[in-house]
Amino acid sequence: MREKLKPEEGAGKWVLKEIDYDGVKNTFVMLANRLGSLGDEGRMLGSDGKDYTNTTRTLIQEWLPLAEMRAIFHQGPR
């Protein structure tokens, strides 16, 4: 006997819904990083990877079962 799967179970994939860049916190972290690199003459803020050290972002994902993915695919572009 076959069990019926819940929508959140079975085949599917994670779909990215939103990215939260933690803006206020990251702004202060980047400024603190820049204070540590003021000796780098002629360099703009954010032009080097070390300016982004210790910054964070949160990726919000949703599980999308294959049946729903097929339905979205068949709708075509909006």
Please say if the pLDDT value at position 1 is more than 50. no
Whether 49 is covered by a domain: the verdict is yes
Whether 30 is covered by a domain: the verdict is yes
For 73, residues 6+ apart whose C-beta sits below 8 A from its C-beta are: none
Whether 5 is covered by a domain: the verdict is no
List pLDDT tens digits, range 3-44: 565 656 678 888 899 999 999 999 999 999 888 888 777 788
pTM, whole model, 2 decimals?
0.56
As for how many domains the chain has, the answer is 1
Whether 32 is covered by a domain: the verdict is yes
Cα dist. 56→26, 33, 34, 77 in Å? Answer: 7, 14, 16, 32
List pLDDT tens digits, range 50-76: 889 999 999 999 988 877 656 565 565
What pLDDT score does 16 carry? 92
By residue range, what is the domain housing residue 39?
Answer: 12-75
